[in-house]
Amino acid sequence: MSTPGVSVDPFQSFKAAQREGWTHFAPLEAFTTIVAPYLVRHARVREGQRVLDVGCGTGVVAVTAARLGARATGLDLTPALLERARENAKIAGVEIEFREGDAENLPFGDASFDVVVSQFGHMFAPRPDVAIAEMLRVLKPGGTIAFATWPPELFTGRMFTVTARYAPAPPPGVAPPPQWGEPRIVSERLGSAVKDIVFDRATLFAPALSPQHFRAMFERTAGPVIKMVESLASDPAKLAAFRTEMEALISEYFRDNTVRQDYLLTRASKI
């Protein structure tokens, strides 16, 4: 029975599974570190600005912004990643506030930040309309919102689509993360709250010894893939089929011991 006046999150169990699934993400910072400066430049982060990194993971964007003199704050759902983020900030010699929290319920006041960014983070919030409304709420008028996402038609977007076919169906109302990589959908979601939307694309070349190595690495580190593999523990034939399909997909983008991963950069100004 619910308590009168208290809002119950219908995706509480889903988010709990996400929190657990992303616990092992830290090794992937070797890839996301490369993307961070591109996002920070795209967001036009400057010294002295208050910057919020939503879904900060191990803090690579927040640390990159802080090294430029920004006053950075990072928020993530997974405590283990925040521990790594604090360690990364300490090693870099920068002061950053890291908070555990939910992209759909940001624990900050209205108009608190000059810049709000997210690098492959907010796209996993189940309700895009709620997440983007929260990111815009805490952004000052005239401030910048910017993020990096995976286009659905390219490698990482296709990888999540393959994974979704083998995984248990998410709760009704959960939007596929790769939709955030489609400029038309991004424009619709940002809507009339922003102006001057700018899109760009960039490429990450991730090192891998073979397609099989890359597939195995994602099975140990990427939250949705980890949960999908767990769900197939009692169905070895289906798990083998997934691995065969995934390795075939990786092979399309594998060359010279790297896997090509193209991503979309978005920037807009809050009205």
Residue 23's pLDDT band, with cuts at 50, 70 and 90, is very high
Q: Which of 61, 84, 87 is nearest to 74 (CA)?
A: 61
Q: Which of 271, 200, 186, 179 is nearest to 44 (CA)?
A: 200
Taking residues 178-203, report their average pLDDT.
98
Quick: pLDDT tens for 53-79.
999 999 999 999 999 999 999 999 999
The average confidence (pLDDT) of the chain is 95
Predicted pLDDT at 8: 75
Q: Using the predicted structure, report yes or no on whether residue 2 has a pLDDT greater than 90.
A: no
Residues in CB range of 173: below 8 A, 6 or more apart? 10, 11, 126, 127
Quick: pLDDT tens for 236-247.
999 999 999 999
The single-letter code of the amino acid at 41 is: R
Predicted pLDDT at 261: 97
Q: Using the predicted structure, report yes or no on whether residue 31 has a pLDDT greater than 90.
A: yes
Domains, the chain:
12-205+262-270 (3.40.50.150)
Cα angle: 176, vertex 102, 25; to 5 degrees: 70
